[in-house]
Amino acid sequence: MRKLLLAATVLTLSFAAKRVQGQGYPPPGRLAERLRTLTTQFKSTATLQSLAKSPGGHDVWVLTLSRTQSGSANSASKPALAIVAGVEGSHLAGTELALQLAEKLLTGQSRDSLARMLDAHTIYILPLINPDAYAQATGTLKYERSGNGRPTDDDRDGRVDEDGPEDLNGDGLITTVRIEDPTGQYMVSKADARLLVKADPTKGEQGRYRLITEGVDNDKDGQHNEDGPGGINLNKNFSYDYDPFKPGTGEFPVSETENRALIDWFYATPSVYAILTFGPSNNLTEPFKFDKSKTTPRIIKGWLEKDVAVNDQVSKLYLAAGLKDAPTLPAQRGDFPQWAYFHFGKLSFSTPGWWVPRVDAPKTEAAKDTAKTGKPGVPPALPGGGDTKPGEGSDDVTFLKWASTNNTAAFMDWKPITHPDFPAQKAEVGGLVPFARLNPPANLLAEAADKQLNFIVNLTNAMPQLELVNVKTEVASAGLTRITADLHNRGLLPTQAELAERVRYLPKIKVSLTVGNGQKIITGRPVQLLRETIPGNGVVQLTWLVSGTGNVTLEAASPSAGTARTTIKL
């Protein structure tokens, strides 16, 4: 009988693990094949480049999308939008969304809106910055990690990667172990008996369980799995607000090959106007609020006022694409989106890309009756459709309800085991499936990808566009002509972030008046750099006094805002 039960348990675990493994996220090797296939099918529009090799030997790719017709500007000289994903290695959905966006952009070029976008702009897609962590999601042993493949000594005991997880029940997944212990801090959630939440003694709650990740204490230091494979979290290793001497943040800012390659590429690509990051932070459904106290110190800690206004404009574009009810996700120290704004000086937008859809709780008959009388009805549902109180695992409860409705493997039921570190106590393995909470099955991302594509089209349409208008000439005296022209930004968004005015290495708008033989500029500069930002629908007036006859050429150019050129007859 015991053999039959054991066989049934192994069969059940094997089926569950296969179901989990079939979530549709390709391993890094297949992801690379998918990218190469696009560049083969769309040779005139897509090119692929490897920026670096990760410690695990995987490529960090950048895919360039741009339609270059005869006589038109090449991809490097067009204003560009950069889409970055997979900096946070456990955020698989962002990588898949980036790939699906690339596929939709390339296969949908017959659509006028996409054709115009790729004619006028370049889209850079960097789908996976941390392939080492991502690879764990598709490996033989699946456990959630955010670190790359660099060996590290996280517990500072002189050894590296000596205390990693173990698959105690043989299901191919590393989940959690709960141990019955009257001194434990965790209790069963009132909202869902599968979940554990921290007990609150001030409310008379009593802990019943200890909770550890699945594995044993290999180095016998009283901690479990505190120093396993998975080295540096790239999304905590950037230079802005870097948090030193913490596990996973690195020995110093930008210590990792992947991050250095990413930053070097951005410095070498001045045409990038804005950066959209798919990851665990959100300033699109909830734009920043201006806080003057954070912008007045020498080291700025908050977005500048004009940039906050831009964030609000772009947020409206995002919400108009149907991308609503995203969770509140603050930035974390040392992450990439903050570096992109504070240290690179570019407009930086971030979103998880996908989240558990909001489902309003149905009204009861009593609530309907009170609604008819005008009295308060049922309270609004929590974001994401949760109906539990904060602190009772509401996010997990909401997620598990959604997973159950969509037949998605998200939780492994608790199964008893004999744990070598707790031989006299009842121990059970189970819990949330690794990577599941932020990452639905890949085939469920198509709708989100369509909405993200609509947003990207609207965002690129709103980007700055330089034009020279109201060009006038008048005779000042014999042989002298006064030229005036308005440099107009006909885009919705400004020509650069307000913060860029403080960043000296970013190229400014260059205005050039080129004269020929027998012509001379009397007043005005032949070449000038406009330090100030031109707001959306804003104008800067330019004027010169030129001697001579014939034609002169006036040009205004910015790598990230485009080029305007006109010929003027004196």
What's the pLDDT at 130? 96
What percent of the chain shows pLDDT beyond 70? 87
437 has pLDDT over 60: yes
Model pLDDT, residue 414: 96
What pLDDT shows up at residue 153? 64
Joined together, the tokens standing for residue 508 give: 């400014």
> Does residue 145 surpass a pLDDT of 50?
yes
Which residue intervals of the chain bear CATH 3.40.630.10? 27-137+231-354+441-462
CA 222 to chain centre: 36
First to last CA, the chain: 101
Whole-number average pLDDT of the chain = 87
Q: Answer yes or no: is pLDDT of 379 > 80.
A: no
* pTM, to two decimals: 0.89
Residue 394 — very low, low, confident or very high, per pLDDT cuts 50/70/90? low
By the 8 A CB rule, do 241 and 338 touch?
yes
According to CATH, the topology of domain 466-569 is Immunoglobulin-like (2.60.40)
Q: Are 460 and 117 in contact (CB under 8 A)?
A: yes
Percent of the chain exceeding pLDDT 90 equals 71
Q: Which residue did the predictor score with more confidence, 224 or 392? A: 224
Banded pLDDT at 76 (limits 50, 70, 90): confident
* Count of positions (residues) in the chain: 570
CATH of domain 27-137+231-354+441-462: 3.40.630.10
d(CA 265, CA 432): 37
Average pLDDT, integer, range 62-82:
80
pLDDT bucket at 73, cuts 50 / 70 / 90: low
Position 367 scores a pLDDT of: 42
- Return the ∠ at Cα 444 (arms to 325 and 57), rounded to 5°: 105
Indicate if the pLDDT at residue 370 is higher than 70.
no
In terms of DSSP H, where are the helices of 63-173?
Answer: 92-107, 112-120, 131-136
When pLDDT is averaged across residues 331-342 and rounded to a whole number, the result is 97
pLDDT classification of 161: cutoffs 50, 70, 90:
low
Which bin fits 440, alpha (ψ -120 to 50), beta or left (φ > 0)? beta
CB 455 within 8 A of CB 316: no
Mean pLDDT across the stretch 248-263? Answer: 96
CA atoms within 13 A on the CB side of 428: 14
3-class secondary-structure state, position 21: helix
pLDDT value at residue 227: 63
Position 109 scores a pLDDT of: 84
In the chain, which segments carry CATH 2.60.40.10? Answer: 466-569
Residue 218 has what pLDDT?
80
Residue 4: which pLDDT band, with cuts at 50, 70 and 90? very low
Q: What average pLDDT does the segment 252-262 reach?
A: 97
CA distance 458 to 272: 17
Give the pLDDT score at 16: 43
- Over residues 288-307, the mean pLDDT reads 94
- The pLDDT score that the predictor gives to residue 18 is 45
Q: What is the band of 12 on the pLDDT scale with cuts at 50, 70, 90?
A: very low
DSSP letter, residue 39: H
How many angstroms separate the Cα of 284 from the Cα of each of 173, 279, 310, 318?
34, 12, 11, 6
| Collapsed DSSP state (helix, strand, coil) of residue 277 | strand
Ramachandran bin of 427, using left for φ above 0, alpha for ψ from -120 to 50, beta for the remaining angles: beta
Q: Model confidence over 486-499: pLDDT tens digits?
A: 999 999 999 999 99
* pLDDT tens by residue, 190-236: 999 999 999 999 999 999 999 999 888 887 777 777 666 778 999 99
Neighbours of 509 (CB within 10 A): 27
Q: What is the pLDDT of residue 149?
A: 87
Binned at pLDDT 50, 70 and 90, residue 17 comes out as very low
| Per-residue pLDDT reduced to its tens digit, 459-472 | 999 999 999 999 99
Using CB atoms within 10 Å of the CB of residue 239, give its burial: 0 to 12 exposed, 13 to 18 middle, 19+ buried. Answer: middle
